[in-house]
Structure 1
């Protein structure tokens, strides 16, 4: 595995873990925003658990490539869903909510690049 693949996997894993742990525990402003927009607490908890599982899968995937690639694809799907959620709620056009929405785009791009680099390694 290349150094770039390891670095990207670690960065995406940290990003996913920091995003997922508060959701899994139903704490923090992201959780309040999601539940305030109609998502159930169980769905928010599931999204958080998926992000944490993806982070763990990426870290294990450093040693076993197929798991890392699968975890990266799963995270790309989760973050694509986040982008769609924010688009549907108009968060990117509202200056007050834009700051909390942009990280979903960054995470999606990071996940896609990580999968490509892991697959090429």
Structure 2
């Protein structure tokens, strides 16, 4: 429960990005772009969304706006990794990033580079 007895999920969501080390270096093919302060700058002037996509499934800021303006709370966000960190070079991989306490799991022997092959499930 959050403030005034309101369930926490009604007003707060936490998305942990696997492999993301915010201060230096990354592991596991991160970063996955979902919109953060430096990402649009790094990807070029023609990108207004850090993910390179213009929908709330791929952009954290657009997901937040959809939640605030339409009441549609995000359960997951699709993170995108570009070839050579260049939007015009194409998508290298995508994956679902789940709302905590859920965790993204790849579906069996499916291609882990495709977002649709990931699903959210409880950590424990």
Structure 2 length-normalised TM? 0.32
Larger proportion of strand = 2
Q: Which has the higher contact order (CA 8 A, sep 6+)?
A: 1
Bigger share in helix: 1
Q: Which has the larger radius of gyration?
A: 2
TM-score, length of structure 1 as denominator length: 0.33
